[in-house]
C-alpha cells in the first residue's frame, strides 16, 4: 500500500472512490470559503470576491455538464471581465479533459500547483505550554483582524473583501490565535462542517517565525476542532511551500488530490 493509499484509508472510512472523496472535499472547501458572488452554469461555479484569494475568484467545476465547453468558457470570460477580474479556472480532478484542452487552445497560463491534504484528528491531542497567550474565538475579533492584516501580505485593497468573506462563512468557525503579551503572534481559522475541520488563513508573524510556532498553532486548532466534534481535517497548501508541507506531514496530513489554476493570457 502506498503512502497515498494509507492516507486515503485513514480519512475515508466510508470507502468512497477517489472522485467521490474529491467531490466531498471540494464541497467542503467551497462551503467553508465562500465567494461574494456566484454564477451556477451547468455544473460550473463562477465565483467572484473582488480579487481576494484564488479559489474565491475562479471557476470551479463540480461536474462536466451537458453544454458545449467552448460556449461556457466564453460566458465565463465575459463574466470575469465584467467584474474587473482576469478569467481564471481551478482545475481539479473533477474538471473534464475537454476543458483543459480548450484552455490550452486559448493559451491559458499554468500557475502553481496546489495540494488538498487531509488527516484524522487525534481525539487526545496534547498542546504545549509555551509562554504565549492563546485564544479561541467563534468570530474574528477586531484586534485579531488588525494583527492579521498587519502581519500578512494581504494588499489593502483586498482587506474589506476578506472581512466580507469571513462574515459570509455559514458553518461554525474557530479562530485560534497566539499573542506575545498584547502583540499578535499567529493565528489560523478552522471551519467545522459535517465532522470535518477545514484549515484556513494560517499565519505566523514574521518576528515569530523559526520557533516552531506553526506546529503549535496547528495542534491548538486541531484540538479545538476535536472539541467541536471534528474527526477529520483538510487543508489546501501550495505545492512549493516546503516548510508548510513539512509541518503538515508531521501532523499526519497527506495529499488526497492536486489542483492548478489556469489564467487567461
Residue 14 is assigned to a structural domain of this protein: yes
What pLDDT score was predicted for residue 128?
79
CB-side exposure of 183: number of CA atoms within 13 Å?
A: 9
In the chain, what is the straight-line distance between the N-terminal and C-terminal CA atoms, in Å? 41
pLDDT, the chain, mean: 94
3-class DSSP assignment, residue 122 = coil
What pLDDT score was predicted for residue 1?
46
Residue 219 is assigned to a structural domain of this protein: yes
Per-residue pLDDT tens for 196-225?
999 999 999 999 999 999 999 999 999 999
What pLDDT score was predicted for residue 254?
95
Q: Edge to edge, what strands does the sheet with 232-238 contain?
A: 37-41, 44-48, 59-61, 88-91, 254-263, 109-120, 232-238, 196-204, 183-193, 173-180, 133-137
What pLDDT score was predicted for residue 19?
87
pTM over 0.85: yes
Look at residue 94 and tell me whether its pLDDT is greater than 80: yes
Residue 261 is assigned to a structural domain of this protein: no
Per-residue pLDDT tens for 100-137?
999 999 999 999 899 999 999 988 887 878 899 999 99
Look at residue 4 and tell me whether its pLDDT is greater than 80: no
Domain count, the chain: 2
Residue 197 sits in a domain whose CATH number is 3.40.630.30
The Cα–Cα gap between 10 and 251 comes to: 14
Per-residue pLDDT band for 6 (boundaries 50, 70, 90) equals: low
User: What residue numbers bound the domain in which 73 lies?
Assistant: 3-118
Amino acid at each position: 500500500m502506498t503512502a497515498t493509499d494509507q492516507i486515503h484509508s485513514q480519512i475515508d472510512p466510508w470507502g468512497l472512490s477517489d472522485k467521490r472523496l474529491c467531490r466531498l472535499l471540494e464541497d467542503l472547501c467551497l462551503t467553508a470559503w465562500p465567494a461574494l458572488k456566484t454564477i451556477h452554469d451547468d455544473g460550473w461555479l463562477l465565483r467572484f470576491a473582488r480579487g481576494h484569494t484564488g479559489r474565491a475568484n475562479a471557476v470551479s467545476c463540480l461536474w462536466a455538464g451537458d453544454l458545449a465547453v467552448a460556449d461556457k468558457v466564453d460566458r465565463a470570460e465575459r463574466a470575469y471581465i465584467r467584474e474587473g477580474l482576469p478569467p481564471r479556472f481551478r482545475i481539479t480532478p473533477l474538471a473534464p479533459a475537454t476543458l483543459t484542452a480548450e484552455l490550452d487552445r486559448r493559451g491559458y497560463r499554468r500557475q502553481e500547483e496546489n495540494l488538498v491534504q487531509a488527516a484524522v484528528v487525534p481525539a487526545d491531542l496534547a498542546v504545549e505550554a509555551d509562554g504565549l497567550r492563546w485564544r479561541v474565538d467563534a468570530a474574528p475579533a477586531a484586534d485579531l483582524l488588525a494583527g492579521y492584516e498587519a502581519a500578512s501580505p494581504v494588499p489593502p485593497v483586498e482587506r474589506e473583501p476578506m472581512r466580507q468573506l469571513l462574515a459570509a462563512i455559514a458553518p461554525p468557525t474557530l479562530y485560534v490565535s497566539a499573542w506575545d503579551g498584547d502583540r499578535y503572534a499567529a493565528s489560523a481559522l478552522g471551519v467545522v462542517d459535517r465532522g470535518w475541520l477545514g484549515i484556513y488563513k494560517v499565519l505566523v508573524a514574521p518576528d515569530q517565525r523559526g520557533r516552531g510556532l506553526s506546529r503549535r498553532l496547528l495542534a491548538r486548532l486541531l484540538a479545538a476542532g476535536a472539541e467541536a466534534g471534528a474527526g477529520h481535517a483538510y487543508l489546501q497548501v501550495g505545492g512549493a511551500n516546503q516548510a508548510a508541507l513539512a509541518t503538515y506531514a508531521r501532523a499526519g496530513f497527506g495529499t488526497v488530490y492536486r489542483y492548478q489554476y489556469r489564467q487567461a493570457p
